[in-house]
């Protein structure tokens, strides 16, 4: 019975009316996530904002991929706050598309009221677009350790890719993958793989996986979905599970 209902729901999404194209230049969102780590629960609240240097055309694209497919240079900021972990994070970043070349950079400032474990994380990506819809990247991330007595900052070199391709009608497919090589004592290899199926320009459902080659590592599995109620208003939800850790998130956003 549940399988029948699921199939019916997917079919309804596939034939739902598509949103009309409408250009935008800015997007702001509010989000919430809930963490349950083997009974230890926490809540995260936040907001984000992205500004595109030029107006983004959405004509002929899945609304969620318009900025990428139009190679739109942008800058953004994000703030999030965990309740019981008592940790706040301010993130700043941006992406630039210069002909067929790509560069992005971001920095996270993590802090708590006591100031005893303040950290700063940094990431950069350099990329090339050999064809429309395909991006290949080389990246480096540096995660700062909050323990002042020990130098355990973690550096990760990564190779990644993103590919968005049209399917029949208004359908499209997004595939993303990245593999990283950490400079820890075990030379850990980490990877992520995900994708989204766009039933039309407004509605998508996706799946992603993350894991590493560390002994005893558990695979993280997640599902997500997004719906543009109008070309400028969207809602989305995501759920992931890794062993005994469950995370659920919601986000609503407005473009203008």
- Determine the topology of domain 2-255 in CATH: Porin (2.40.160)
pLDDT exceeds 80 at position 151: no
- Under DSSP, is residue 4 helix (H, G, I), strand (E, B) or coil? helix
Q: Residue 104 half-sphere exposure, CB side, CA atoms within 13 Å? A: 23
What is the pLDDT at residue 252?
Answer: 98
Residues 193-224 have pLDDT tens digits of 999 999 999 999 999 999 998 888 899 999 99
Q: What is the mean pLDDT of the chain?
A: 90
- Under DSSP, is residue 235 helix (H, G, I), strand (E, B) or coil? strand
Highest mean pLDDT among 7-16, 141-150, 151-160: 151-160
* Strands 87-98 vs 233-242: parallel, antiparallel or unpaired: unpaired
What is the pLDDT at residue 156?
Answer: 95
Residue 145: pLDDT band (50, 70, 90) is: confident
pLDDT exceeds 50 at position 2: no
Share of the chain above pLDDT 70, in %: 88
């Amino acid at each position: 019975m549940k399988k029948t209902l699921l199939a019916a729901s997917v079919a309804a999404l596939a034939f739902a009316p598509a949103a009309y194209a409408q250009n935008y230049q800015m997007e702001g969102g509010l989000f919430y996530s809930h963490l349950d780590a083997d009974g230890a629960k926490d809540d995260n609240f936040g907001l984000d904002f992205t500004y595109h240097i030029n107006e983004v055309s959405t004509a002929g694209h899945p609304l969620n991929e318009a900025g990428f497919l139009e190679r739109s240079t942008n800058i953004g900021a994000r703030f999030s706050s965990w309740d019981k972990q008592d940790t706040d994070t301010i993130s700043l970043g941006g992406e630039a598309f210069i002909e067929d070349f790509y560069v992005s950079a971001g920095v996270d400032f993590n802090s708590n009221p006591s100031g005893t474990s303040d950290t700063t994380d940094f990431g950069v990506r350099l990329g090339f677009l050999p064809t429309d819809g395909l991006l290949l990247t080389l990246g480096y991330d540096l995660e700062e350790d909050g323990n002042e007595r020990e130098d355990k900052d973690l550096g990760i070199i990564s190779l990644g890719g993103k590919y968005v391709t049209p399917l029949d009608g208004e359908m499209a497919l997004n595939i993303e993958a990245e593999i990283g090589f950490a400079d820890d004592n075990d030379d850990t290899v980490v990877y992520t793989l995900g994708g989204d199926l766009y039933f039309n320009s407004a509605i998508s459902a996706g799946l992603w996986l993350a894991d590493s080659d560390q002994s005893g590592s558990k695979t993280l599995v997640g599902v997500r979905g997004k719906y543009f109620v109008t070309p400028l208003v969207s809602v989305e939800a995501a759920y992931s599970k890794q062993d005994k850790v469950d995370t659920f998130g919601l986000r609503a956003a407005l473009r203008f």
